[in-house]
Structure 1
């Protein structure tokens, strides 16, 4: 499963849910008509019957969730899709592909493992945890020299003292 969002809360009294999307743009989460909702590794399939922007966020109506009490039971759950539902990344990388990669410098100094990424506006930032935590800009060709998903290694142009 690939997590693409989460249930942020309830909206109204007819079972609508506030959605926190991890997709870009945010509305892309509604391209998937079937979501997996889960917590603690347990997933269940739900159908999205309606979804739209509301203010600065998103709201969705899911099949079988028809009142506020039923919606509240899903608050805090993650929204995921099966990996095979994602479009081909065509030279780009999904964050989920980068998380867990070993990071080393061009000289072979091991810096740690990609724990997660941050969206900062200008560039995404890799949070690399090793002997110390490092924040490394995800800038292909300038900072990130090579990504080998098969071997699980990312090579960066980075001073190990930073």
Structure 2
């Protein structure tokens, strides 16, 4: 284990905002580098400071500020919301697109402005001409609309997360 892995294993167990974790990372790295300059090996430093689980537990126990905990859980919830909304939006848009462009079992009725012409006869080749593609209607349109709405919500949650991250 190197010092980055040690510090990362501590940080991932902390119940703190991103800004606080960044500050703690800098403090830990400075402290470890100072001890290394004094001649201590990384194994000795880890033994002195303790296992990452214990260091994180001590920090979490000593940090009893309810506002900081609220900000941590708010940031965490926004991260999860962004991921869930983004995955849902992509799946809905893909499903709507698939329903529109891959209608193996269903041929949508012609809408206004669409025409089909069949030209041919008994003695020659037959050609079929379609003047336009069918418009997105029905369930496919609903899925695409819902996907776009979820994508907009995802962007709003991402903006809220970034604003919170800069603030706390």
Q: Relative to total residues, which structure has the larger strand share, 1 or 2?
A: 1
Common topology (TM > 0.5): no
Shorter-chain TM-score category? under 0.3
- TM-score where L is the length of structure 2: 0.24
- TM-score where L is the length of structure 1: 0.25
Q: Relative to total residues, which structure has the larger helix share, 1 or 2?
A: 2
Q: Highest Rg: 1 or 2? A: 2
Higher relative contact order (CA 8 A, sep 6+): 2
